[in-house]
């Protein structure tokens, strides 16, 4: 039996009880606080994940490089998972999960980049170079997800092949 308020404490003074703890109504943790907590957390997660303004060409170039880098990572995960499946070393549900997440991440990267306003003509040109491989990657990842979910190995290989082109372009834009 353990009693939090009265367990043995040899050679020590008794713990102070919180002032007027007995007089207060009992606290009901989480009941009223849950919506507040969820709201605050949503704000925090949104704050750290939101897309900020890009006022200069340099900042826009940096964001473009970040988008290209992120997309290279997403494609890399999907390719590795699919190749592992095709080699018979992973299960279909597992690969489906990884590729589906990659597809969602890719769509998010594209949306986040496209939501930025290019600051001038140089930004327009950069956007023109980055958008096609981003679009192609998202499309190929969708094809890959469909193929993996159907267990269509030939279609999965074709989708992997379709990712090669955008990947090379994005690697160049990411500075790799």
Partner 1 sequence: MRRLVSLTLGVMTAIGGFVDIGNLVTSGISGSRFGASLTWAIVLATVAIIVYGEMAGRVAAIAGRTVFDTVRERLGARLALVNLAASLALNVLTLAAEIGGVALSLELASGVNYLLWVPLAGALMWGVAWRVSFRRMEQVYGLLGLTLLVFLAALAAGPSDWSGLLGSAVHPAAPPAQGQLTWWFYAVSLYGACVVPYQVYFFSSGGIEEHWSEHDLSEVRLNTFVGFSLGSVLSIAIMWAAADVLAPAQASVSGLGEVALPAAVALGRLGLAVAIVGFVAATFGAGLETALSTGYIMCQYFGWNWGKMMRPRQAPEFAVVNLLVLVVGTALVLTTIDPIRLTLVTVALSAAALPLTYFPILVVANDRGVLGTRVNGPVRNLLGGGFLVVLTVAGLAALPLLFLTKAGQ
Residue 74 CB, nearest approach to partner 1 (Å): 6
d(CA 123, CA 120): 5
For tokens 């750290």, name the residue. Answer: 48
The Cβ of residue 97 has, within 10 Å, a number of other Cβ atoms equal to 13
Nearer to partner 1, 11 or 121 (CB): 11
14/121 with CB nearer partner 1? 14
Q: Which is nearer to partner 1, 8 or 121 (CB)?
A: 8
- Min separation Cβ 121 and partner 1, Å: 28
| C-alpha separations of 132 from 13, 23, 119, 135 in Å | 72, 67, 19, 5
Q: Give the whole-angstrom CA distance, residue 15 versus residue 20.
A: 14
Judged by the rule CB under 8 A, the positions of this chain that interact with partner 1 are 1-5, 7-13, 15-19, 21, 26-31, 33-34, 37-38, 41-42, 44-45, 47-50, 66, 69-70, 72-77, 79-81, 84, 88-94, 96-98, 101-102, 105, 171, 175-176
Q: What's the closest the beta carbon of residue 73 comes to partner 1, in angstroms?
A: 3
* Smaller CB separation from partner 1, 22 or 121: 22
Q: Over the range 43-60, which residues count as b (16 or more CB within 10 Å of their CB) and which as e?
A: eeeeeeeeeeebeeeeeb
């Amino acid at each position: 039996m353990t009693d939090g308020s009265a367990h043995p404490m040899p050679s020590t003074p008794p713990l102070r009880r919180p002032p007027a703890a007995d007089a207060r109504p009992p606290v009901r943790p989480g009941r009223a606080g849950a919506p507040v907590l969820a709201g605050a957390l949503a704000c925090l997660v949104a704050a750290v994940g939101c897309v900020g303004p890009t006022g200069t060409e340099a900042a826009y170039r940096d964001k473009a490089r970040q988008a290209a880098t992120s997309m290279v990572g997403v494609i890399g995960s999907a390719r590795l998972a699919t190749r592992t499946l095709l080699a018979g070393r992973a299960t279909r549900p597992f690969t489906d999960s990884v590729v589906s997440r990659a597809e969602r991440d890719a769509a998010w990267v594209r949306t986040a980049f496209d939501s930025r306003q290019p600051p001038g003509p140089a930004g327009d040109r950069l956007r023109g170079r980055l958008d096609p491989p981003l679009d192609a990657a998202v499309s190929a990842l969708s094809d890959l997800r469909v193929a993996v979910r159907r267990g269509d190995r030939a279609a999965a290989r074709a989708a992997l092949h379709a990712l090669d082109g955008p990947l090379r372009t994005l690697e160049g834009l990411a500075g790799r």
